[in-house]
Structures are given as C-alpha cells and as structure tokens.
Amino acid sequence: MGKGKTLFWLIPLLLVIVAIPGVSGSVTAREGVFLILMYVTLAVSLNIILGYTGYVSFGHIVFYGIGGYVAFYLMIFHGVHLIPAMIAGGIGAALAAFALGEAVLRLRGAFFAIATIGVNEAVKALVNNLNFIGGAEGLFFNFSIYKTYGGAARAIWFSYYTMATVTVVTIVAAYLIKKSKFGLGLMAIREDEDAAIILGVNAKRYKSLAYAASAFFPGMVGAVFFFKAGNIEPHDAFHLMKSIEMIFMVMLGGYGNVTGAVTGALVYERLKGFLLVNPLFKNLHMAISGVILLLIVLFMPQGIIGFIRDKSKKLRELLE
Amino acid sequence: MILQVEDVTKTFGGLVALSDVTFQVEEGEILGIIGPNGAGKTTLFNAISGVFKIDKGKVTFKGKEITRLPPNQRARLGIARTHQIVKPLNDLTVVENVMVGACFGQGNASLAEARDKAMEVLEFVGLQEKWEVLAGKLNVPEKKRLEMARALASDPHLILLDEVLAGLNPMEVSSMLEVIKAIREKGITILMIEHLMHAIMNVSDRVMALVYGRKVSEGPPQEVANNPQVVEAYLGDPDLALKLFKDKRRRG
C-alpha cells in the first residue's frame, strides 16, 4: 500500500477548483462548483458503504435529508450557527444510520438495497406528517437569519466555503478509512462476508459503523445545501432520484476507490450539465445516464479509475 | 487439553449431521478426522468454529466454554480454519488477504505488524512471490496455500484444516505435508479432515472416524484403519473387502 500519494495531488486539485469562483467572484462559477463539491462529497461518502463494504444503499439520500432537517430545525428555532448545526446534522444522520444498520444490515444483497429504499420512503412519509417541522410544506428561513453571516450574499459565499471544507474533510476521511485496519475489515466483508467473520472480523459492528460513517458526511452536505437554499421540504430532502445519481457517480468512477468516486462525480456533473442544456436530450438525461450505467456495469465494472488502475501499475498508488 | 467437544448434535431438518459427538484434542497434537462423504466432518468444523448454532452439546476451548460465541470471537480466542471450498477475498491482493487474518485473528496485529507477519507467513507456505497478485487470480493449489497462510497469520492456538490436500498432485501433497508438519513444530494444535489415507495416517498422532454423524472409532492411526466399522463404512462388508484386498495383493 502506498503512503497517501493520492491525496497529494487530489486535494490541491480540488482547492484550485474551489478557488476559481473565489478569485473571479463569478456567481455562475460558484454555483457550478458548489454542485460539483456536493456531488463529490455524496459520492465519496456513499463509497464507504457501497464500494468498501459492498452494500448497495439505494436510499442513501435519506441521510442528506435527515441532516438537512436536523440542522434547519436547530438554525430556525434555536438560532444555532451553521457550523454547529451542520455537525449536529451529520451526527443525527450517523446515529440514524447506526441504528438502522443494526436492524437492516442483517439483510444481504438485493434485500438490503430494497430495504434502504423503503427506509427513505418511510422517513419521507413521516416528515410529511410531522407538523412541528413543517409537514409537507417544509420549513423556510426568515431572511434575518442571514444577518449573522453579514447578509444573504455573504452567507452564500460562507456556505460555499463551508461546503468546500466538508468536501476536503470527507475525501481525507474516506481515504484514511480505506487505508486503516477498519477499512481492511470492510473490504474483507465486501469480498466474502462469511470468510471475513471466520477470520475474526466483527462484521455486524463494522457494517453499522461503515454505514454511520457514510451517512455522516451526506448529513452535513444536506445541512449546508438547505441553509443555502433557504428552505427545506420533504420532496427535496428525500428525493430518490438523487440516491440513484449517487450510485451512478460511484459506479462510473470506480467503486471502492476515492479517486474513482471523485472522478465519477466530476464526470457526472459535466454530463448532466451538457445533457440538460442540450435541447435534444434535455428530457432524456436520466435515460441516457441509465444506458451509460448499463454499459459500465457490462463492460467496465471497475469504473473509469478502476479500469486505468488495472492497465497501469505505476498509476495505482496515485489513484486510490 | 485444548479443545473439548461434548455430546455435540446438529440436525438439518430431518437429517442428523452430528449425533452426540464427544472427543478431546490435546495441546500440540495432530488429530486427523476421517469418514466417508456426508459423515459430518465439515459440519463438525462448523460447530467448532461457530458458523452455526449446535442443537445440543458443549464446546470448550482452553477451559472456556465457547458454545454460544459468534465465529469472529472464536477466531479472536485462537481458533483458525481453512475451508474445503476455498474462500479467497478475490479483489484483494494475496498479502492483503493474509493481513486480514493477522489483523482480526488471535494476533490482533496493527496494520504495519500485520504486513510483516503476512510476508513471513507467505514465505512459510511458499507463496511469497505472489504477494502482489489479486487472490482471485491464483490457481487452486495456491488458493489452498493462501487459506492456510491466512489462518496461520492469526497466530492461532488451534487450526482446523479442511481437506487442504484434496485436488493436489503428489508433488504438491508432499510439500503441503511438510508445511503441516512445520506448523506443528511451531506448537500449534492441528485438527485436520482428509480423504487421502496415506497422508493422514502418516502425519496424525491420533485419528478419529465419523460415520453418519457418529464417532465410530478413535485412537492411533493404524488401529482406526483396521477397525471393522471404519472399513465397512468405506468399503462395505469387511470380510469381502479383505478377500478382495488379498486377491489384489497376490496378483499385484
């Protein structure tokens, strides 16, 4: 195993991308990069349970929604600052995942994937009916909240840099997990859970912890995203389509691999942007994404980065 | 005595796979387990390593009752095993496979320690040149060695070898037997299932025979081999078998 060579180019590259809108002051560029950062964070964190551990969490967006709601609630009713509210959102999502994991992670393969969709839909239905957090209409900020951050315009820049920080933390954390004893245990579970248990891996606990870790970061992303949006409603927070997009990004880039998830997110964002503005494809972008996913699974199951890693031994340590 | 199995019974639906099996394993010995197909040998290993719950009976390891412990905790206590149908972690490299054993087994090593340990064990089983290869790309004899290496890397007190010689050619068998003997030299107790009679008779201190889930004989290898019930289980009627055997000898 290498000594963290991947992070030495990946993190600087990311920082350069983050700096572009900051230097130019372009709002359009900022919105684009914000979206990229969000996708990267979601993909890299989903990768912990999907790529490292081999469990397809189909309804993973539920943790983004939970984090969003927890943070929003704290900010709106208790006047909590974005940063602590975001961390609380992450912790809320992670705790929910851990509890769920203890129950749902007994299921393997397709059964687990279907159960996670059920969880997402159940939480959405629940939130729809909880009046203290706005029910189906959701919650929205009074603009005075942004005053703490020096006005709405500055608040949005603040949320942008917060998101960038979350992204960097997520990538570093995901990489360190992969390179740890814990990560080795997870990969053993992915390859053959029964063999892993016989070798002494506490699969039950490891899976729940991996699930919690992969929920923590989406919880924070949800908090920042909805802070920036200024409102949150169940339909946006628990949108199953976003779940599918997350899986798509991980599979596209190469699962089990930090660089892969990042690449997948970048490529997907570009692809989606291209398809959405193209009059020919604009209503078909999910369909086209679906076809691409099918082709990847059939012909390049290890994804873009996995494919390159297979071809070149030299690049292997740089693409982990 | 390192392992004590008392009255262990396991049924699958109506099929009695193990029926009141009782035996003990002394520290440092090699106990061979023989028996025809379906006699319950692998089931016995599963009962000892904790893959499933037994219906009745008690398993004690190093003075501690482990009947209800999950398999990962038994591994921690120092019980390692190999599988008859190999279970390599395909997309991990050979050395990573072995590191899993070192990290999570009895040795509870850190990643760095596990790596050194893994290289050492790979050399011991003769797989050091393949350390960087993905485990899925190994051939069957290599995968068997890998199973062995993974189990050994955990620094076990007791190792359960499930048909590690099956499917190997005579050359590979004799080199594997050397490895098994060397494991014993390290002071590790071995419980092994084997169909290759000459091999198991040669290497075991004691042999136990299972037939239809029951223990029919236990003792020194030669004694068990000559036990009429054992002979019958393998060859049918012992008198007839003996006659055929003698005929063959006269001719051959």
Where residue B206 sits, what CATH number does that domain have? 3.40.50.300
CB B245 within 8 A of CB B235: no
Residues in A closer than 8 angstroms to B51, CB to CB, are 194, 198
3-state secondary structure of A162: helix
How far, in Å, CA of B178 to CA of B17, rounded? 32
How far, in Å, CA of A149 to CA of A57, rounded? 36
Q: pLDDT for B79-101, tens place per residue?
A: 999 999 999 999 999 999 999 99
The pLDDT value recorded for residue B239 is 75
Residue B50 counted as domain residue: yes
Contact B104 A187 (CB under 8 A): no
Per DSSP bridges, beta strands B189-193 and B30-34 are parallel
Structural domains of chain A, count: 1
Residue B196 counted as domain residue: yes
Nearest CA in chain A to B91: A191
B84 and B129, same domain (yes or no): yes
The pLDDT value recorded for residue A99 is 95
How far, in Å, CA of B176 to CA of B89, rounded? 22
Nearest CA in chain B to A189: B89
- Among candidate residues B140, B156, B172, the one where a domain is terminated: B156
Residues in A closer than 8 angstroms to B87, CB to CB, are 192, 194-195, 198
Residues in B closer than 8 angstroms to A199, CB to CB, are 72, 75, 80, 100-101, 104-105, 150, 154
Among B49, B77, B97, B100, the residue to mutate for chain A (most A Cβ within 10 A): B100
How far, in Å, CA of B207 to CA of A79, rounded? 74
E strand residue ranges, A117-205: 139-140
Mean pLDDT by 10 residues, chain A (320 residues): 76 94 91 95 97 94 97 94 97 96 88 92 94 91 87 92 97 96 97 95 96 97 96 94 92 92 93 85 81 86 88 83
What are A1's two structure tokens? Answer: 């195993």
What are B54's two structure tokens? Answer: 């037994």
Residue B39 counted as domain residue: yes
B193 and B248, same domain (yes or no): yes
State whether residue B91 sits within 8 Å of chain A by CB.
yes
- Residue A303: give the domain boundaries: 5-318
Contact B89 A203 (CB under 8 A): no
Among B79, B104, B106, B132, the residue to mutate for chain A (most A Cβ within 10 A): B104
CB B157 within 8 A of CB B62: yes
B86 and B69, same domain (yes or no): no
Where residue A91 sits, what CATH number does that domain have? 1.10.3470
Structural domains of chain B, count: 2
- As beta bridge partners, residue B25 has B3
The pLDDT value recorded for residue B22 is 96
3-state secondary structure of A252: helix
Residue B174 counted as domain residue: no
Alpha-carbon gap: A187 to the closest alpha carbon of chain B (Å): 8
State whether residue A201 sits within 8 Å of chain B by CB.
yes
- Residue B130: give the domain boundaries: 79-156
For A84, residues 6+ apart whose C-beta sits below 8 A from its C-beta are A74
Residue B234, CA atoms < 13 Å, CB-side half-sphere: 17
Alpha-carbon gap: A194 to the closest alpha carbon of chain B (Å): 8
B151 and B87, same domain (yes or no): yes
The pLDDT value recorded for residue B61 is 96
How far, in Å, CA of A116 to CA of B25, rounded? 46
Q: Interface pTM (ipTM) of the complex?
A: 0.89
Residues in B closer than 8 angstroms to A176, CB to CB, are none
B118 and B60, same domain (yes or no): no
The pLDDT value recorded for residue B252 is 59
B138 and B195, same domain (yes or no): no
State whether residue B93 sits within 8 Å of chain A by CB.
no
Among A189, A193, A199, the residue to mutate for chain B (most B Cβ within 10 A): A199
Residue B103 counted as domain residue: yes
pLDDT average, residue stretch B50-66: 94
**Which amino acid is located at A92 in the chain?**
G
B91 and B147, same domain (yes or no): yes
For B78, residues 6+ apart whose C-beta sits below 8 A from its C-beta are B61, B62, B105, B106, B154, B155, B156, B157, B158
Average pLDDT, chain B: 92
3-state secondary structure of A25: coil
The pLDDT value recorded for residue A1 is 45
DSSP label at residue B93: B
